[in-house]
Structure formats: structure tokens, C-alpha cells
Amino acid sequence: MATEILMPALSPTMEEGTLAKWLVKEGDTVSSGDIMAEIETDKATMEFEAVDEGTIGKILIEEGTEGVKVNTPIAVLLEEGEDASDIDTAKSESASAPVPADKEQSSETAPAESKAHPEPQADVTPDWPEGTKLKQQTVREALRDGMAEEMRRDETVFIMGEEVAEYQGAYKITQGMLDEFGSKRVIDTPITEHGFAGIGVGAAFGGLKPIVEFMTWNFGMQAIDQIINSAAKTLYMSGGQMGAPMVFRGPNGAAARVGAQHSQDYAAWYMQVPGLKVAMPYSASDYKGLMKTAIRDPNPVIFLENEILYGRSFDVPDLDDYTVPFGKARIWREGEDVTIVSFGIGMTYALEAADKLAEDGIKAEVIDLRTLRPMDTGAIIRSVQKTNRLVTVEEGWPQGSVGNYISSVIMQEAFDYLDAPVINCTGKDVPMPYAANLEKHALVTTKEVIEAVHKVTYR
């Protein structure tokens, strides 16, 4: 029986297109996979393939026709032995044939059920008032100022960890704090993460607000039982009677040639744990503002820093009490062609890629999550509704990555807006090599982000 060839939906959001060019003519024989036409949308020109074998019996829509609605018949395909006289018969039969009473309607014949997506909620207010005086600070300085301001504000706040006092911090984050606050509030500990993390949890149970520094989060694995089973779960397990208002902080992820055991990115690990909040800032202002918010939060907070970022300078608002709320992403760059989402040092690659893509005429919107739990998925969805494409960037491993979670959210909440698959740019699926040349290959790169964007934009 003659079959109508319908105008295809070449993307989930496509409603109409231009039938730019026919690559077959009436009487031509086609097989499955043969290119029959070129169809233009507002985003791209794509080829349309045959899905069945047969002969082109009649072309219903001339090439060059604009505004052809999806599912409009554009041609008729004849089976072997049929001729043009079968076309009208097929059309009348298909139009009048009812669904048998004893057979349920299939997804092909049943009327489509319309479902509205909930409008994503996103806080787009600026982080500081317009006209606020700004000053340049390194991440190291901003982080120290955030902790010191909270220690002046609240006597129950103290910091403990290896070399935080006499040596003023392995990375000089606590420089000057021992002199100001004394040895009861800036406390050197032995090299025993499980021990001093446990002391910190107990102090939090007792009403204090400890900041527990790990020299790196890799060493924090010694204390993971205290962090997850004691700090994160006690508020729930005690029925709300006691919790752990505290901050666990330190450098996370790769530095430079420190080997596999000192280079892991724990963002996805801790992001999974109910009872924890997780921050991983990029800029100095966010290090300061999020640290102050973390110290005030009644829940245990995982604060993931980066050794390479400590010495970088950014604008920081010169305000008496500057804080950044958890769960609010920051849009560093607006764009309309693709959304790039990252956090922490991954923002370096995202912003560099956006600058180079702009030279090719691709306008990328760059979103810094800042906190991973809670995560501002509303900001991502709103952006994807505009750009229809998404690339995520992080240094962690690919399996079970933060980008994997973001992809699942977009699939559930914004699938109809996607014009291309989501691509997750991550570190490679290997332990971090020590050799400098191999370490470079193991990390995500700006080039890889650019290539991912070209894939999803078809440019």
C-alpha cells in the first residue's frame, strides 16, 4: 500500500521547517538510509533519510517551500507493483479507517497528551549592589578574611588542623590568625585526620562551630567515617535533637605533579550524601562569601578548594558583611548558542573556551554552580531553554560525575528543549599520573571543551 512520507521532527523542539532541496524525483527507487531531501530549521540544515524501500510516487511539497509543519505529508512512497493510482486509495483508507473496538490505541494513533513543564526557579539577583566598591584579592586572602570575620563575630568558631597555627597553614591560608585569636581557637593537630575530625564532630555536637582543615582532601579519606556517619547523619538519626554545625575544608583535586594519591576530585563523592552541604567556589569573592555562609550554616559543610587557585586574584566587594547564599549559581557570561556549566577550577576551562568560541561566532553562556549540594538546577534549565544545548566541565572522573547528574536532571526537566545530546567533559578515567606530560593528558582541557561545543552546535 502507498505510504505517506511525513515532514520529520529533526529535534524535540522543531515545529516547522523549510524543505530546502529534494535529492530524489518522482519515479526514483529508494532504499532505507538513502538521503531524500535537505531540510532547514532555524538552527541547522540536515539531511532526511528514507526509512523504507520503494518508489517515489508523488512529491507533494515542492523544494524551497517554507514553514512546512511537522507531520505534513511531503511525498508518497509506492511499494513494488503499485502505481500512482494507488495514492488516492491509500489516502482515503488511512483517513477513514477507525481503530478496531477490541484494540487499544497505540502511541501512533492515540491523541498526544500535553504536559506542561514547571517553570524553573532561579535567583538572578546580583551578588552585590550596583556601584559597590571592589578590591583585588587573591583567593588565599579572601578565604582567610572570611574565616577571620566569622571568628570575630562568633566566639564559638575555631579552626583546627595540621600546621594551621605555628606554621600559619601549609598554604598560608591561616596567616596571622594565631596571633589574633590565640592557641585555643587556632589549633595545631597531630597527623591523624580520623582523630581530629572526630574531635571536631564532638565539639560541634557540644555547641561549638569548628572549621576542620585537611591539608588536602585526599587525606580526608582517613576521616570519611566521621564526616559521613557521624557529622552528616546524626541530625536525622537523633530526630533533630543534635547536629554538627561545622565546616570541613582544604584543597581538592589535582595540583601539579603530586601523584595519584594526592590528586583526586571529591566533588561527586560528597555531593551524593544527604545531610551534607557541598561548596566548590572558583572566584575570590565566592570563596569569601560562601565560607561565611558555611560557618553560619547549622549543617556540616564540605568546602572544596583548589591549590592552583589560591594565588589567583579576583574582584571582591568591599562590604562589611559579604555572604553568598548556597544553591545560587552565578552567570559569568551570557550567550544564546550553548550553555557551559562548571564549578571550581573547571571554570578556568569553561571561560577560556567561551572566549575562543566567541571568535568563531559561537556565543556561550557560562554558569558557575558554586555549590553542588544544594545545586541551582533551575539556573541550568532556564539557560538550556534558551540555548538548547549543554556542555558540563569538571576535573573529576567520568563515571558517576557531577555532569552525569546534571544530564539526568536535564533529561527529566528539559528534554524537549534539547537540540543535541548533553556532553560531559571530565578528567580521564585513570589514576592521576605523576609524569608532567601524562598528567597534562589526564586532565580536561580547554580544547576538549571547544570540541564538545562544536559537536553540540553542529558548527
Handedness of CA 224, 307, 275, 159 (dihedral sign): positive
Sequence-distant (6+) residues with CB within 8 A of 115 are none
Of 213, 262, 307, 394, catalytic: 262
Three-class SS string for 390-456? EEEECCCCCCCCHHHHHHHHHHHHCHHHCCCCCEEECCCCCCCCCCHHHHHHHCCCHHHHHHHHHHH
Residue 204 is inside which H or E element, if any? helix 193-205
Which residue is associated with the grid cell 531553554?
A: 385
The amino acid that residue 2 corresponds to is A
Residue 152, exposed/middle/buried by CB under 10 A (0-12, 13-18, 19+)?
exposed
Strand 186-188 with 247-251, pairing: unpaired
Interatomic CA distance for residues 256 and 39, integer angstroms: 49
Interatomic CA distance for residues 358 and 450, integer angstroms: 11
Is 441 an annotated catalytic residue? no
Interatomic CA distance for residues 57 and 26, integer angstroms: 6
- Quick one: how far is CA 149 from the chain centroid? 31
Interatomic CA distance for residues 453 and 336, integer angstroms: 13
Interatomic CA distance for residues 182 and 204, integer angstroms: 20
The single-letter DSSP state of residue 354 is H
Interatomic CA distance for residues 58 and 68, integer angstroms: 17
Is 38 an annotated catalytic residue? no
Of 193, 213, 307, 395, catalytic: 193
Strand 371-373 with 390-393, pairing: unpaired
- Quick one: how far is CA 266 from the chain centroid? 15
User: Which residues are marked as active site?
Assistant: 193, 262
